Amino acid sequence: MLTSNDGVRVRIYIVVAVLLGLFAYVGVRLYFLQVARHDELYEKAKRKYTAVRTKTGKRGEIRDIDGHLLVGNVPVAQLVADPCNVETDIMAEKLALLLKSYFGLDPDETFKDLQRKTRQRKKEDGTEETVKRRYSLLVREVPFEEAAKFEHLLKVNGIRGVTFPEGYRRFYPKDHLMANVLGFLGGGGVETARQDTTRPETGQEKFEADLSGLRLPYGDGSQEHVRDGEHVYLTVSEPIQSIVEEELDKVMEKWKPLTAYAVMADPRTGNIMALAQRPTFNPNDRSKMTGDSWRVRAIEDSFEPGSVMKPMVVAGALDMGLVTPGMTIDCENGTWIYAGRSMRDTHPAKMVSVADIIKHSSNIGTAKIGLLLGKENLDRILRSFGLGSLTGIPLKPETRGQFMPVHKWDGLSITRFPIGYGVGVSPVQMVRAYCALADGGKLRKLRLVDRVEDPETGEIKNMPPEAPVSLYRNPAVANQIVDLMASVTRPDGTAFRAAIPGYEVAGKTGTSRKWVPEEKAYSYRKSYATFAGFVPARNPAFVLVVVVDEPKGSIYGGVVAAPAFKEIATRTLRFLDVKPDPALLPEDTARRSQNTTAAPARPTAPAVPARPATPRPAPQPPVAPTGSAPARPAAEQKKERKFVPLDSNYYRRGYQQDKPGSGR
């Protein structure tokens, strides 16, 4: 028989058993939750309270040699709405009206967009499902300040569901300046050429956050490395670039050409100091950009350079000892027939010295020097000045120009190549060649990128210039050719318009008629007007080439390009603080200059050392428009004419096209 104590005991056993059962259940449940499904559930929980932010570094900036910003990043924000969070119609309507007043968005369309709360999503198995629509991009790029104002406005109006994800927009603070060279992403220029190093790295930041998204102070987190792109420093100087572009604008206004280029380089380093072209575009507003305006035509296009080629041929002949500056050559009184084709000179003369061949830009004299050199030597000399090869500028595509190998030359090539016809060169190739002429025959690769900087460490990686190649075997040639080129800008030279008071300017004009494929002839109205030179001639601060394509009003390099050279060079010399040579200043100016300079003697001023006064040639009446082509009356210029052989018998005068000789 059970007593009351036994009953109590039984009840206790039952309770204990139930509790044990419960504990066992909890234990088993805990085992499954904490051990068996640990990883799965831990991940699930972690996803709930772990916030992920994607961070992107900034694309590297592009600056000039002194650090002036040419391409930077301006902070912008996107305007993104979460339609599910814009809860009421009134709120959506308010938002649509605000967007209209601030950003000019169509309120009806915005309202409709905000009303669409769901969207269709394709699942992996191909079926579609309806999900909540949480993303609607309203405005792609909102300027930094406007975004802040608009955010404040939304807060005041109590509108929710709009976020402002941050980002950057590429910005060109100097607008048109150097636009072609800088380019844009996917559009050539430095931007495209250096995009691998300027590209930023993206990283994710993970952290534990509370319900409002705030980072928990004791939570775990991880952060991937985010790296900004490298800053690129160009060799270009922004103030000089501004001068060059301003003067090119004047050329465009005055001569209405198709295009105009100007390239300036430092002959001692090969640094490009300025590289400008017109027409151009505004990279901040590319809606009006035309197809041709964004190409770097000074690098991509080639042209027949005309007489600017002559100094290279003469330098080569001087170096080989085939000619001397005083040696005379028969220039056939201005008309010469070789290989059945006529050649003419602007200044008809019988016997002309080599010095005067350069000074008066004699085609016949230069062609005969070409004959003296012979095919192989001529080819070697022109190639040694960098024609037919890349210049070293890191922009793509770059033309090598058109320069045929010797075995493809025709009978006329040996007389046409020396005067700059039949060959194609790019303006930068011409600059490189003139750098070699200016720097005693040292050919260097051109440089456009000076250094790159790692924005994180501040480490600067310099890109030193490569060692130059010496072109002359006879060191005296360096001075001789500079003397000859300096005579070109004297009052009786073809480029007196390029002369700068106080400075000795060495250079050469070029007027090359354009080939008209339809007519299979050179045009008399269309030409490339070119001037290439350097200043001061004995200690050049820079080499400058100005090319004007199809100027209207005049076709001559001495009329169109030489004055532009003068203006650019004068302003650049002032900027670089290159002092004029008092001996080369007009007498009254020199006297005034001497009086005023007597007071402050500044030992640190890098003045040009005073040179003994050189006898200046007596002023002569200005010669007819310069260049390699003869001056013609305006009416005649307008008439389109062809080069026609005056004598179809190529060898009547006993010329042998491949045989070096005197040309007679």
Partner 1 sequence: MNIRTKKTTTAVRKRPAAAKETIWSKFDILFFVIILGLGIFTAISLRLKYNSQGVALSRETEKIRREIHNLEREVEFLTTQRESLTSWAHIQTRIAQFRLPLQQPKHNQVYSMTVNYEDHGLNRIGMFAHQTADTTTTEAVRGVQ
Select the residue interacting with partner 1 from 599, 618, 634, 635 (CB under 8 A).
Answer: 599
Quick one: 148 or 610, whose CB is closer to partner 1?
A: 148
Select the residue interacting with partner 1 from 104, 290, 602, 609 (CB under 8 A).
Answer: 602
CB 573 within 8 A of CB 500: yes
Q: Give min distance, CB of 607 to partner 1, in A.
A: 8
Is residue 164 involved in binding partner 1 (CB under 8 A)?
Answer: no
Listed in sequence order, the residues at least 6 apart from 151 whose beta carbon sits closer than 8 Å to its beta carbon are 164
Is residue 68 involved in binding partner 1 (CB under 8 A)?
Answer: yes
Is residue 377 involved in binding partner 1 (CB under 8 A)?
Answer: no
Select the residue interacting with partner 1 from 145, 196, 253, 588 (CB under 8 A).
Answer: 145
Listed in sequence order, the residues at least 6 apart from 209 whose beta carbon sits closer than 8 Å to its beta carbon are 49, 50, 51, 215, 216, 219
Q: Give min distance, CB of 635 to partner 1, in A.
A: 40
Select the residue interacting with partner 1 from 24, 216, 351, 646 (CB under 8 A).
Answer: 216
Is residue 174 involved in binding partner 1 (CB under 8 A)?
Answer: yes
CA atoms of 621 and 188, how far apart (whole Å): 48
Chain length of the chain:
664
Quick one: 266 or 332, whose CB is closer to partner 1?
A: 266
Own/partner long-range contacts of 8-11 (Cβ < 8 Å, ≥24 apart): none
Per-residue interface string for the shown chain with partner 1, residues 552-591, x marking contact by CB under 8 A: ----------------------x--x-xx-----------
Quick one: 74 or 406, whose CB is closer to partner 1?
A: 74
Q: Give min distance, CB of 352 to partner 1, in A.
A: 38
Q: How many CB atoms lie within 10 A of CB 288?
A: 8
Phi and psi for 75 in degrees, rounded to 5? -70, 130
- Kindly determine how many residues on this chain lie close enough to bind partner 1 according to the rule CB under 8 A: 45
CB 194 within 8 A of CB 232: yes
Q: Give min distance, CB of 83 to partner 1, in A.
A: 26
Select the residue interacting with partner 1 from 605, 610, 613, 646 (CB under 8 A).
Answer: 605
CB 159 within 8 A of CB 152: no
CA atoms of 443 and 429, how far apart (whole Å): 11
CA atoms of 309 and 66, how far apart (whole Å): 34
CB 455 within 8 A of CB 461: no
Q: Before 397, cis peptide (omega within 30)?
A: yes
Contact positions with partner 1 (CB under 8 A) in 621-650: none
Q: Give min distance, CB of 575 to partner 1, in A.
A: 10
Residue 588 burial (CB < 10 Å; 0-12/13-18/19+)?
A: exposed
CA atoms of 155 and 277, how far apart (whole Å): 49
Select the residue interacting with partner 1 from 40, 175, 220, 519 (CB under 8 A).
Answer: 175
Is residue 56 involved in binding partner 1 (CB under 8 A)?
Answer: no
Q: Give min distance, CB of 451 to partner 1, in A.
A: 10
Quick one: 243 or 320, whose CB is closer to partner 1?
A: 243
CB 307 within 8 A of CB 420: yes
Quick one: 82 or 146, whose CB is closer to partner 1?
A: 146
Q: Give min distance, CB of 154 to partner 1, in A.
A: 16
Select the residue interacting with partner 1 from 164, 171, 515, 650 (CB under 8 A).
Answer: 171
Is residue 217 involved in binding partner 1 (CB under 8 A)?
Answer: yes
Q: Give min distance, CB of 179 to partner 1, in A.
A: 12
CB 242 within 8 A of CB 417: no
Annotate 443-459 with b (16+ C-beta within 10 A) or e (fewer).
Answer: bbbbbbbbbbbbbeeee
Select the residue interacting with partner 1 from 166, 292, 456, 640 (CB under 8 A).
Answer: 166
Q: Residue 372: enclosing H or E segment and its boundaries?
A: helix 363-373
Select the residue interacting with partner 1 from 51, 55, 56, 74 (CB under 8 A).
Answer: 74
Select the residue interacting with partner 1 from 7, 21, 165, 173 (CB under 8 A).
Answer: 173
Listed in sequence order, the residues at least 6 apart from 310 whose beta carbon sits closer than 8 Å to its beta carbon are 357, 358, 361, 366, 418, 419, 420, 508
Stretch that binds partner 1, among 33-41, 207-215, 258-266, 525-533 (CB under 8 A): 207-215
Q: Token digits for 514?
A: 């354009």
- Give the 3-state secondary structure of residue 563: helix
Is residue 128 involved in binding partner 1 (CB under 8 A)?
Answer: no
Q: Give min distance, CB of 46 to partner 1, in A.
A: 19
Q: Residue 77: enclosing H or E segment and its boundaries?
A: strand 69-81
Sign of CA dihedral 366, 368, 372, 375: positive
CB 54 within 8 A of CB 204: yes
Stretch that binds partner 1, among 315-323, 468-476, 528-536, 601-609 (CB under 8 A): 601-609
Is residue 242 involved in binding partner 1 (CB under 8 A)?
Answer: yes
CA 424 to chain centre: 21
Contact positions with partner 1 (CB under 8 A) in 442-471: 458, 460
Contact positions with partner 1 (CB under 8 A) in 499-518: 502
Quick one: 207 or 403, whose CB is closer to partner 1?
A: 207
Q: Residue 513: enclosing H or E segment and its boundaries?
A: strand 506-516
Select the residue interacting with partner 1 from 103, 144, 515, 643 (CB under 8 A).
Answer: 144
Quick one: 145 or 518, whose CB is closer to partner 1?
A: 145
Query: β-pairing, 136-143 with 69-81?
Result: antiparallel
Is residue 198 involved in binding partner 1 (CB under 8 A)?
Answer: no
Listed in sequence order, the residues at least 6 apart from 105 whose beta carbon sits closer than 8 Å to its beta carbon are 96, 99, 138, 139
Quick one: 195 or 597, whose CB is closer to partner 1?
A: 597
Q: Give min distance, CB of 604 to partner 1, in A.
A: 4
Q: Residue 344: enclosing H or E segment and its boundaries?
A: strand 341-344
Amino acid at 445: K
Amino acid at 601: A
Stretch that binds partner 1, among 64-72, 185-193, 540-548, 645-653 (CB under 8 A): 64-72
Stretch that binds partner 1, among 30-38, 170-178, 426-434, 642-650 (CB under 8 A): 170-178
Which stretches of the chain bind partner 1, using CB under 8 A? 67-69, 72-75, 144-145, 148, 166, 171, 173-177, 210, 214-218, 238-239, 242-243, 246, 458, 460, 502, 574, 577, 579-580, 593, 596-597, 599-600, 602, 604-607
